[in-house]
Amino acid sequence: MKITGGIFKGRELKPVPDKRTRYTTSIVRQAIFNMVDVSNKSFLELFCGSGIVSFEAMSHGAINVVAVDISKKAITTTIENAKKLGVEIRIVNADFRRFLSSCTESFDIVFADPPYNLGFTQVLLNTISEKDHIGKIIILEKAILEKFILPKQFTLVKSKRYGDTELVIVERVPKE
C-alpha cells in the first residue's frame, strides 16, 4: 500500500495482518482528496485499519489527525506506520460508538469505512448527528447495497460508485 498524494506520496505502509481487513483502494483515496480539501482541517478516521486514510490526510495537510479502531492488530499496525513516516498521530483503540459518545474534541472532517453490510453506516450517522462538534463533512465508504437514511442534520454533497463500493460525502447543515 502506497500513499497516493501529498508530501508522503509514494511512501509504502504496512497492511494489517488480518484477512478480514478491507482496504480503501488507491483510486478511492485519490477521489476523496480530490473532492475534499483537508488542508489545515482536523481529521478523524473511524475504522482506521492500517491508518492509510489518516496518513493520506496528513500528507495533504490535515492537522490534529485521530485514528480509531477496535482491533488491536489495526492499532499496532497504525502505530508502526506512524513511526515509519515519522509523524505524530493520536491513535485510539476503541469501538467507534464508545469513542464518539465520550469525544469532546472537534473535528472538521470525519472519514469512516465500517465493515460492509452490518448496519454501522446508519449507527454512525445517527451518532454523529447528535454531536455538533464532530464532522462538518462526513465521508463514508460503504457497500453499494447498504442503505441508510440521512439524518436531518446532514445534506448529501456527492455520491460516487467504485465497483461494489460507494463513496458518500455529506455536510452538516448549519444551525439557524
Q: What's the CATH number where 121 sits?
A: 3.40.50.150
Full residue range of the structural domain in which residue 38 is found: 6-172
- Higher confidence at residue 23 or residue 103? 103
pLDDT at 20: 82
Number of folded domains that form the chain? 1
pLDDT at 29: 95
Q: Per-residue pLDDT for 174 more than 90?
A: no
pLDDT at 6: 96
pLDDT in tens, 82-95: 999 999 999 999 99
**Residue 60 placed within a domain:** yes
pLDDT at 61: 98
**Residue 1 placed within a domain:** no
Q: Per-residue pLDDT for 110 more than 80?
A: yes
Non-local CB neighbours of 115 within 8 Å, separated by 6+ positions = 20, 22, 47
Residue pair 73/17 in contact (Cβ under 8 Å)? The answer is yes
- Higher confidence at residue 128 or residue 175? 128
Rg over alpha carbons for the chain, rounded to the nearest Å, is: 15
pLDDT at 19: 83
**Location of C-alpha cell 482536523:** 42
pLDDT at 22: 85
**Residue 27 placed within a domain:** yes
**Residue 158 placed within a domain:** yes
Instruction: Over range 23-35, report the average pLDDT.
Output: 93
Q: What is the average pLDDT score of the chain? A: 95
Instruction: Over range 19-34, report the average pLDDT.
Output: 91
Q: Per-residue pLDDT for 176 more than 80?
A: no
pLDDT at 49: 95
pLDDT at 128: 96
